[in-house]
Amino acid sequence: MSNFDNSLKEKHRQWQISVESKLDKHPEAKSSYATDAGIPIARLYTPLDLTGDYEEQLGFPGEYPFTRGIQPTMYRGRLWTMRQYAGFGSAQETNERFKYLLSLGQTGLSVAFDLPTQIGYDSDHPFAMGEVGKVGVAIDSLEDMETLLDGIPLDKVSTSMTINAPAGILLAMYIAVAEKNGIEPSKLRGTIQNDILKEYIARGTYIFPPEPSMRLITDIFAYCSEHVPNWNTISISGYHIREAGSTAVQEVAFTLANAIAYVQAAIDAGLEVDQVAPRLSFFFNAHLNFFEEIAKFRSARRVWAKIMKERFQAKNPKSMMLRFHTQTAGCTLTAQQPDVNILRVAFQALSAVLGGTQSLHTNSKDEALALPSEEAVTIALRTQQVIGYEIGVTDTVDPLGGSYFIEKLTDDIEAKVWEYLNKIEEKGGAVKAISEGYQQKEIHSSAYQYQKAVESGEKVVIGVNKFQVEEAPPSGLLRVNPKVMDEQKAKLAALRRSRDNTKVESSLAQLRSAAKTGENLMPYILTAVKSYATIGEITGVLKDVFGEYQQRVSL
């Protein structure tokens, strides 16, 4: 340690003593301070906290280890993609909402599907009762997808689809619609979530057991690397892990552990790491603890770069770049005094931008109550536009880099993420750990602690445990037209009559026999989709061959 450091250390010590001697008279609000993940926060950070080598730990944006960002110019070159997740009711209604969002200046689409679509049930299945068109748009066949994307320039807009177990089916539909419009698959840009492991951990829209699910995912990797090279083949998601109650550290650790499992599965399937890794994308949550969130994004980038370089021996720098989408934290929205949610969302969105996100969804103020209304979604998008165009935070790259506090937190989070990654490794990897319920239990325990902290008042939630007011029940909430289910059923019945059923049956039979071999299933799914086979029919064939996942119920 240099003389400078020694002298600073001494001065810092004296300053601490002097502050502490006055705490009796001027006490601090709390006896100890910590981030939401429990990382202790000091009273003050100084150059003494910067222990690592600058080039090794931070480097330059666009260069390994990408701590400061994945692009050399970041938002000076191009702002993040403003991408609001939307979808409800029928394909027709959602198509109208998409056009409305694009007219407001949104730069990418993000499709929300209803639960039957996500779990592979047609709208006329008994389990779909009451769920059709509710949390997203109902898609049963290529016909619905044609309506959903009508008039959208698929060669210009990038589209993200939150679809997991049946991701290959929806991607095939997207490709089929594009081809019908004369657009080559190689021109398509977008993302499918396609992240089954977090469905087992936190989100719940699984269909098949892990092994065939991983095969479907690597089939998609291989197919896209050849035919749809600009498509993000997976969005490895911490968002839902966080929403289920995890801490920021668990969010990053469990997500990266899943990512390792996907890369390993691809390698085991015979793919090259640099063939697959550049198309992997990530999805994180922007929660309330402002600095912890910024540090979280920065440390996630650094850990991933190290994993790809050191563990998987990737050569292409693009394989080491953690590109991510962010959504503000739905679970922090309150039903009480919903206008306050606008402010929560704004701070969360700012943390994502300061953390270097590539795209962003800002939640609407009314989402603790219902699907967002047009008015609410407009404010949410405007929030991003204010951050992007008015307040100047985009003018330099990684503006908080070098903050003693941010750098220390980035280091602390990284260390804790490695601890978890090692633990999961010892258990035999993410898939094994999930089958033991390990991640699920860790998340549940964090969620319960959070709830207890809110109930004790230790964690303040404005409008819920502090500054409450009497308020009238909310009005102007969006309600999904209950006719959607009947209309969807009628459309399905008509489709089953009008399509060439011989073609449907033969495409499904071919899919069935391919599923029993090791062949890539994507071409078969594409043929089935083009014959207007429904999601339920295609999923049904795969269920026959693969079986269904049985949830491990753990408390």
Partner 1 sequence: MGKPIRVLVAKVGLDGHDRGAKVVAQALKDAGMEVIYTGLRQTPEQVVETALQEDVQVIGISTLSGAHLYLIPPVARLLKEKNASDILLLSGGIIPEEDHAALKEAGVAAIFGPGTSTEDIIAFINNNVS
Choose between 367 and 407: whose C-beta lies nearer to partner 1.
Answer: 367
Is 281 strand, coil or helix? strand
Kindly state the smallest distance separating residue 40's Cβ from partner 1, in Å. 26
Choose between 56 and 471: whose C-beta lies nearer to partner 1.
Answer: 471
Choose between 230 and 445: whose C-beta lies nearer to partner 1.
Answer: 445
Kindly state the smallest distance separating residue 131's Cβ from partner 1, in Å. 5
What is the tally of helices (H) and strands (E) in the chain?
22, 10
Cβ–Cβ < 8 Å for 241, 255: yes
Binding site for partner 1 (CB under 8 A): 115-116, 118-119, 121, 127-131, 134-135, 199, 203-205, 243-245, 331, 334-336, 368-371, 444, 447-448, 451, 455, 461, 463-464, 473-474, 477, 479-480, 551, 553, 555
Choose between 94 and 205: whose C-beta lies nearer to partner 1.
Answer: 205
Choose between 268 and 339: whose C-beta lies nearer to partner 1.
Answer: 339
> Token pair for residue 400?
């908080």
Kindly state the smallest distance separating residue 421's Cβ from partner 1, in Å. 24
Kindly state the smallest distance separating residue 555's Cβ from partner 1, in Å. 5
End-to-end CA distance of the chain: 50
Choose between 170 and 406: whose C-beta lies nearer to partner 1.
Answer: 170
> Token pair for residue 152?
């959208």
Kindly state the smallest distance separating residue 252's Cβ from partner 1, in Å. 19
Choose between 203 and 344: whose C-beta lies nearer to partner 1.
Answer: 203
Cβ–Cβ < 8 Å for 295, 43: no
Say which residue the tokens 């753990």 belong to.
Answer: 554
Cβ–Cβ < 8 Å for 237, 282: yes
* Displacement of CA 347 from its chain's centroid (Å): 18
How far CA 401 is from CA of 325, 355, 398, in Å, comes to: 20, 10, 5
Kindly state the smallest distance separating residue 450's Cβ from partner 1, in Å. 9
Choose between 158 and 205: whose C-beta lies nearer to partner 1.
Answer: 205
Kindly state the smallest distance separating residue 201's Cβ from partner 1, in Å. 11
> Is the peptide bond between 65 and the residue preceding it cis, with omega within 30 degrees of 0?
yes
Kindly state the smallest distance separating residue 347's Cβ from partner 1, in Å. 20
Report the distance separating Cα 79 and Cα 108, nearest Å.
Answer: 12
Centre a 10 Å sphere on the Cβ of residue 374 and count the other Cβ atoms it contains.
13
Choose between 59 and 437: whose C-beta lies nearer to partner 1.
Answer: 437
Burial readout 484-495 (b: 16 or more C-beta within 10 A, e: otherwise)? bbebbbebbeeb
Centre a 10 Å sphere on the Cβ of residue 90 and count the other Cβ atoms it contains.
24
Kindly state the smallest distance separating residue 227's Cβ from partner 1, in Å. 31
Kindly state the smallest distance separating residue 434's Cβ from partner 1, in Å. 15
Helix, strand and coil content of the chain, in percent to the nearest 5, comes to 55, 10, 40
Cβ–Cβ < 8 Å for 459, 450: yes
Choose between 6 and 468: whose C-beta lies nearer to partner 1.
Answer: 468
Report the distance separating Cα 465 and Cα 460, nearest Å.
Answer: 6
How far CA 554 is from CA of 250, 257, 438, 441, in Å, comes to: 18, 21, 10, 7
